[in-house]
Structure formats: C-alpha cells, structure tokens
Amino acid sequence: YDREEHTLRELRIFLRDMCKKLASNKLFFMFTKPVDTEEVPDYPTIIKQPMDLETMMTKVDFHRYECAKDFLNDIELICQNALEYNPARTSADKQIRHRACSLRDYAYTLIKTEMDTDFEEKCQEISKKR
Ligand SMILES: CC(=O)c1nc(NC(=O)[C@H]2CNCCN2)sc1-c1cc(O)cc(O)c1
C-alpha cells in the first residue's frame, strides 16, 4: 500500500482519537453535536458555517482532513461561531465564550503535545501536492 496512503491513514486514526478526547470532556458538550435549529431558530441567521465535533468525526471518515492544520481550522470555526453567537456581557454568554476558548486551547495543546512535528510536516507536504 503506497506510503502516502499509509501516512494519511495514520493521521485519520490520530484525529479520531482527538475528536473522541474533545467530545468526551463534559466542558465541551455544547460543541459535540450540530446546533439544533429547532431549539435555536435564529442560529442559522447569524452563523453561516456551523461546525461541531460529530461533523468533524464524519469529515475524518470521509478523508476530508489531510493534515492536523485542516482539523484545527474546523476547531477554530467552532470557537469563532460560539464567540459570534454569544457576544453579550451576560454571565451565560461569557461562560459559553470561555468554553469555546478552552476547546480551542485544549485542542491545540493536545495536538502539539501528542503529534510528532515531522509527521504533521509530512502530511502537509502530501496535502500540498494534491
Ligand atoms: C453552542 C452555542 O453556541 C450555544 N450558544 C448558546 N447561547 C445562548 O443560549 C445564549 C445566546 N445569547 C442569549 C442568551 N443565550 S446556547 C448554545 C448551545 C448549547 C447547547 O447545549 C447545545 C447547542 O446545540 C447549542
């Protein structure tokens, strides 16, 4: 099996583990599933590109991520969406913004500490060529 496909398979295994770790943290439960537009009808009028951890797990399976950077871009999207949808100075909005920033920092740190730098560089090289 060619070396590049082996590298990308290893990346998918790593990213599924990242998704699982993030989604299993109670702090991030509100980011684990798509926002329910029945419950929150004004959400799609404000947030044009929704993202959540379950959708990210599906994207891993559909080979939509070729490097950790692409994965972290979607984490960034989850975070930005929450900051945009919860701008108020109320404690409710502040807490959700804090959770969103924690998700972002936790994901970056997890990847930085658990992923080999050379491996990510190899993935980015493959991604650039495709
Ligand atoms: C993820 C997110 O951005 C989100 N933001 C919310 N904001 C509010 O409820 C603020 C908005 N300003 C006025 C006071 N309420 S609720 C919510 C959410 C929580 C869940 O448990 C599941 C879910 O799908 C979405």
Q: How far apart are CA 49 and CA 77, in angstroms?
A: 8
Task: Encode pLDDT of 68-97 as tens digits.
Answer: 999 999 999 999 999 999 999 999 999 999
* pTM assigned to the model: 0.96
Of 97, 110, 113, which Cα lies nearest the Cα of 23? 110
Which atom of ligand 1 lies at the shortest distance from residue 47's CA? 3
30 lines ligand 1 (CB under 6 A): yes
Over residues 13-50, the pLDDT tens digits come to 999 999 999 999 999 999 999 999 999 999 999 999 99
Closest atom of ligand 1 to CA, residue 34: 24
Q: Which residue has the tokens 């491996």?
A: 119
85 in contact with ligand 1, CB cutoff 6 A: yes
For residue 59, with 0-12 CB atoms within 10 Å meaning exposed, 13-18 middle and 19 or more buried, which class applies?
middle
